[in-house]
Amino acid sequence: MSYPEGVRALVTGGASGIGAATAKRLAADGVPVVTADLAPGADERLDVSDPEAVAALAAKLGPVGILVHSAGIVGPSRPLTELGLDEWRTTFRVNVDGTFLLCRAFAPGMARAGWGRIVTMASIAAKDGNPAQSAYSASKAAVVGLTKSLGKELARTGVLVNAVAPAAVETPMNADTDPAILARSQALTPMGRFGRAEEIAELIAWLCSEQLSFSTGAVYDASGGRASY
């Protein structure tokens, strides 16, 4: 892949899973990458749901040309009628507010530069709706809507905004997910297996590159054939 000379990338959720694989993939193409995460091992510690923390990081880093917002949580895996409002809101704060805050902080600099790539992290659950994961499914559907809207807003600025919607991927984020939910996901996947973080990172790298030129506000599936639309 090719990228403009001097462009830098910020990858949230970059300490593990898809975020770490994406950071490694971009770095392999020579892109300077800053990772941000609450987990140990990232370059910057960041709570993506904290507006002041996001603003402070943006001030510290200055403009970046690539934003991959991979930070997220699965949230509770129980029937909707058993969920507490705080659990629901926490899932949305991380998955939706976090996406909003990161895009709001870094998109203006990209637009001023006349070039940028933003990749958000949706999910096949945004399209299908996973039973017993209503908070996660609804939050990822909100990420899809946000991505489509922002893609249209920035369409003439040189900044392209797209989402990736994986099916279940072998990552630490799924370590505590109900095994029954993961088994259902695998059963629904025609390829009959979970995705690998490196496979998702390959798609993200293309979405961040100069090779992408006529797509924005789109959702790219990485679902082993599960996605039907």
Which residue has better confidence, 191 or 69? Answer: 69
177: pLDDT strictly greater than 90:
no
182: pLDDT strictly greater than 90:
no
220: pLDDT strictly greater than 70:
yes
C-alpha torsion sign, points 70, 4, 54, 139: negative
**Percent of the chain with pLDDT strictly greater than 70:** 93
Q: In the chain, which residue ranges form alpha helices assigned H by DSSP?
A: 17-28, 51-61, 85-92, 98-113, 125-128, 134-153, 179-188, 197-207
Instruction: Express each pLDDT in 42-58 by its tens digit.
Output: 999 999 999 999 999 99
- Give pLDDT, residue 194: 78
For the chain, the average pLDDT equals: 93
**Percent of the chain with pLDDT strictly greater than 90:** 83
Active site residue ranges = 136
Domains and CATH numbers, the chain: 9-222 (3.40.50.720)
CA 75 vs CA 127, 142, 206: distances in Å: 17, 15, 29
Does the pTM of the predicted model rise above 0.85? yes
Instruction: Express each pLDDT in 89-116 by its tens digit.
Output: 999 999 999 999 999 999 999 999 999 9
175: pLDDT strictly greater than 70:
no
Mean pLDDT of 140-165: 98
- Give pLDDT, residue 172: 66
- Give pLDDT, residue 114: 98
- Give pLDDT, residue 221: 93
- Give pLDDT, residue 224: 77
